[in-house]
Amino acid sequence: MPMLMPQVTNLRLLFFSPFPHLSLSSLSLKPLKPRTLFTALASSYRRRHRPIPNQSPNPGARNKTTLRESRGRDKAMEETKETETAGFNKRRAEGNDKNDRPKKNLQRKVRTLNPINTLSYVQVLGTGMDTQDTSPSVLLFFDKQRFIFNAGEGLQRFCTEHKIKLSKIDHIFLSRVCSETAGGLPGLLLTLAGMGEEGMSVNVWGPSDLKYLIDAMRCFIPNAAMVHTRSFGPSVGGLMASQTKFTEPIVLVDDEVVKISAIVLQPIFSNGAQLLNELSITQNPTEKVFNDRVDVSKPFSPNGKNSPTGKPGDMSVIYVCELPEIKGKFDPEKAKALGLKPGSKYRELQLGNSVKSDFQNITVHPSDVMDPSIPGPIVFLVDCPMESHLQELLSMQCLSSYYADFSGPLENAKVVTCVIHLGPASLISSPNYQSWMKRFGSAQHILAGHERKNVEIPILRSSARIAAQLNYLCPQFFPAPGFWSLQHLDCLAPESTPSSEGSVSKVCESISAENLLKFTLRPYARLGLDRSVIPSQVASSEIIDELLSEIPEVVDAAQCVSQLWHQSTETKEEIRLTHDDKVIVEEPWFDENTLPSCLENIRRDDLEIVLLGTGSSQPSKYRNVSSIHINLFSKGGLLLDCGEGTLGQLKRRYGVEGADNAVRGLRCIWISHIHADHHTGLARILTLRRDLLKGVPHEPLLVVGPRKLKFFLDAYQRLEDLDMQFLDCKHTTEASLHAFEGVTETNKDHSFLGSPTSFEDLRDKNTDRQVAQKVDSTLFAKGSRMQSYWKRPGSPVDNNVVFPILKSLQKVLEEAGLEALMSFPVIHCPQAFGVVLRASERLNSVGKVIPGWKIVYSGDTRPCPELAEASRGATVLIHEATFEDGMVDEAIARNHSTTKEAIEVGNSAGVFRIILTHFSQRYPKIPVFDDTHMHKTCIGFDMMSINIADLPVLPKVLPYLKLLFRNEMIIDESDEVVDAAASVAS
């Protein structure tokens, strides 16, 4: 029987506190030894966050009476009281807070159609087009309906930027199921799930390998994000080799507004083998609800016998969108001449029915009184990613009726109005593809592949504007964005695709897509291209001129910031070291910030901390979600968390080529927990690295994260090869590493972490039990409910798997110049961690040993002893500060920290510099903070790049950054989604 947790209300004293201002000597009662970390924390937080009388308790506790009925009202009240007193949301830390949320009606809604659409168009949503990191999306717009084709990373951030309402989306179609086209889907689904009270109405369509993606996302998307998924095409795992059943388009949507069909494009490989076999086809695909378990028990492994030449994610789709015909105008004069009286018969004729003449012995047909109908526009969306797909595309007979040279019955001929090409420019410009394009006659071709144009025009104009302003004020911490460096490239494609035939430009009109480019479908009088909303190119000089006119003081501020570096250089010359290596500095801005010995003669190519994303919950106009690049220069780099859009942020920081080099040089990716805003950019990074290193000898990239993340990666690898190996954070804690070292040292014939022979020796059951006991987290007391949850995913440890990966970690750290990477548990959600990075010692010019720097990253957490202990003596503490000081209740409810709490952790641990990040999207540009606490602290911004040599200057820059945003009001920039999505995703 597990020990019952003592009542927190009976706890009088704190036996351990990470904060120096809380001590036993200040208390009058005899201390009692707490049984768990939570009871220990209770006393500390009860004193600091005692509820004010006549005010509501924290919002995380208000709904505790909605617990499952089996627990009873008394139990719910007891849980609530304990949570309020302890200063954190225990149910959230246990993973049980989802039970408190009100149940939503997740039935699919049917939106009222408007058959007589006055406005319809297709529009290129420029996701990825400036950074070339993902596939662009396409919006098909109607008065009452919205359809999205592809949802790459950054889609919802782009839509927020340009005020495109995601709540109106009814259907999402994927042309391929891979990270390039679907990387933004998890975050989009979480956002849509948080809107309204009736759940979401979106349908997600894709080829049959969509099942792999959905099964992978089930690992971290809650039931509240139920989505209706509909797959079509070849069955994954089928045994039949014939492809005859897939020669016709598959009708997906067919109503009064639009008919959307899919044509499956399977690659043809040189050996004639097909990527996938197939079973039967269903013209009306069976609806698969997200909650239902998708059977992928027999997937096609990339290395399996069933798939020697490809993988499930290679399948592509052509979407055909056909609008209904426009009926001709009714002519009352013709009707009157044929003997008809005005009235109901006029209506019948307009509905397409024949009527009897009132005054003549004839039958009047609709064609007698109606002008000729106009065929509805037809739009093709073609995703042909590889040469092997092109071979199949050229041989498709089902497309013949859409070609201008169609020789069949005239009534079967169809005229294509617009073709949007999503494939790469290198393939589209090939002679075979160009010949295929010409077969559509006078159709307008839009080349939306991301290698053609718009590299020099950022799609996220708001964040680009902020980046330019920050660069003007403080170029040392905010280097010029990478996209500016690309403006000199000849990346603009000609308006017409080049061809050897001079008449092609007239017959086959091709233009390069631009962000927000429209092609109007209705009204018919405006049929064609619409460039009215395309953003214009803005030079950085224009942004700065505007800044200077609004805030003239910024000129002097920039000069003052520049002087800080000169002062820093002069100060270093005046520093004298005492016999105990303590630094004494007379400059007032160093009073409480003695220079750590690890910074002695530090090199600028030793370390740079690049904040790629500093927002929480979901991407916004100004802040992307969590990601930090630890740039070790020639020694490679690491990523700490990898939220959606991380690759795009890398490319905005380093430029397209520089980001590719950064991805090639990654040594490790560490993930704090499995909330979507911390890991959904991972697949895109891994697949890009795989492609960049194809044909180059290399090791799989090491990913360290919570066990639940492995479930996602294992499921996703059935879709795409991620070229990675996984290590549980639990096995990188200090206790765990010491346990493994202790066990392996018993075998003196083998080095640290063992060898293949020692693995067999270590499989002894007693040894397994010994390691498992040592590896188990020490965060929670033995027998507590929290420890039982913590131990659930896997024990005892599989030495045969863990030992070689730990050895790989050791090798990676040595090559990166690091002495240690250690995870530690924190209080946020189940299996949430922070991390410590410590550099190896070095020798100075006279042979003196200089200790390595130490970086601590909190992940998402409430302040806790584990974090405080890990942070002791750190050079840099990167701490989440989701809420301002006045929102303690919200911080407690969601197990986050306030600005003041984060700074207190750093101050109590003797940290040299504190960097705050992970701000609520309530603060669009800069969060609320108290200047009195900021003597060693700085606020993080996206793209902020902090060289370790510049740490002494870091806090002095903050007042000038605040000047830059002095006119900004603290508002919630997306009231529609932030609060709702935060409760699901943060």
pLDDT tens column, 155-171? 999 998 898 988 788 89
The most confident of the ranges 580-584, 652-656, 898-902 is 898-902
Poorest-pLDDT segment among 14-23, 301-310, 759-768:
14-23
Give the alpha-carbon dihedral of 622, 623, 628, 633, to 10 degrees.
-10
Would you state the pLDDT for residue 16? Answer: 32
Would you state the pLDDT for residue 762? Answer: 37
% of the chain with per-residue pLDDT over 90: 44
Residues 365-390 have pLDDT tens digits of: 988 998 888 889 999 999 999 898 99
Return the biggest CA–CA distance within the chain.
120
Residue range 291-302: mean pLDDT, rounded: 34
Contact indicator for 680, 644 with CB cutoff of 8 Å: yes
Would you state the pLDDT for residue 760? Answer: 37
Separation between Cα atoms, residue 915 and residue 553, nearest integer Å: 26
What three-state secondary structure class fits 933? helix
**Which of the two residues, 497 and 396, has the higher pLDDT score?**
396
CA dihedral over 773, 776, 779, 785, signed as positive or negative: negative
Would you state the pLDDT for residue 798? Answer: 55
Would you state the pLDDT for residue 201? Answer: 64
**Which of the two residues, 816 and 223, has the higher pLDDT score?**
816
Would you state the pLDDT for residue 104? Answer: 57
Residues 735-760 have pLDDT tens digits of: 888 877 766 555 444 433 333 333 33
pLDDT at 922 over 70: yes
Would you state the pLDDT for residue 797? Answer: 46
Residues 391-418 have pLDDT tens digits of: 899 989 999 999 998 888 888 899 999 9
Residue partners of 395: CB distance under 8 A and separation at least 6: none
Which region holds residue 355: left if phi is over 0, alpha if psi is between -120 and 50, else beta?
Answer: beta
Residue partners of 616: CB distance under 8 A and separation at least 6: 625, 626, 677, 860, 880, 882, 896, 918, 919, 920, 921, 982, 986
pLDDT at 687 over 50: yes
Burial of 77 (0-12, 13-18, 19+ CB in 10 A): middle
Would you state the pLDDT for residue 972? Answer: 42
Would you state the pLDDT for residue 8? Answer: 34
Contact indicator for 416, 405 with CB cutoff of 8 Å: no
Domains recognised in the chain with CATH numbers: 332-368 (no CATH), 606-742+800-955 (3.60.15.10)
Residue range 2-11: mean pLDDT, rounded: 36
Residues 7-32 have pLDDT tens digits of: 333 322 222 333 333 332 332 333 33
Would you state the pLDDT for residue 581? Answer: 39
Provide the 8-state DSSP code for 689.
H
Residues 426-440 have pLDDT tens digits of: 899 899 999 999 999
What three-state secondary structure class fits 589? helix
Assign 791 a pLDDT band (cuts: 50, 70, 90).
very low
Residues 868-911 have pLDDT tens digits of: 999 999 999 999 999 999 999 999 999 999 999 999 999 999 99
Residue range 917-926: mean pLDDT, rounded: 88
Would you state the pLDDT for residue 866? Answer: 95
pLDDT at 108 over 70: no
Structure tokens, 723: 């070229």
pLDDT at 793 over 60: no
Structure tokens, 69: 């009925």
Assign 951 a pLDDT band (cuts: 50, 70, 90).
very high
Beta carbons within 10 angstroms of residue 284's beta carbon: 11
With CA atoms as reference, report the closest residue to 232 among 250, 255, 215. 250
Would you state the pLDDT for residue 500? Answer: 35
pLDDT at 471 over 80: yes
Token pair 């009047």 in the structure block, residue:
364
With CA atoms as reference, report the closest residue to 827 among 113, 36, 218, 59. 36
Residue range 703-713: mean pLDDT, rounded: 95
Burial 516-528 (b: 16+ CB within 10 A, else e): bbbbbbbeeeebe
Its pTM surpasses 0.85 = no
Would you state the pLDDT for residue 274? Answer: 39
Residues 637-649 have pLDDT tens digits of: 999 999 999 999 9
pLDDT at 842 over 50: yes
pLDDT at 350 over 90: no
Residue range 764-782: mean pLDDT, rounded: 45
pLDDT at 925 over 70: yes
What three-state secondary structure class fits 285? coil
The most confident of the ranges 260-269, 274-283, 570-579 is 260-269
Contact indicator for 474, 446 with CB cutoff of 8 Å: no
Q: Rounded mean pLDDT of the chain?
A: 76
H or E, element range at 767:
helix 765-775
Contact indicator for 294, 215 with CB cutoff of 8 Å: yes
Q: In what order do the strands lie in the sheet with 627-631?
A: 724-728, 701-705, 666-670, 637-642, 627-631, 608-613, 944-947
Separation between Cα atoms, residue 97 and residue 84, nearest integer Å: 14
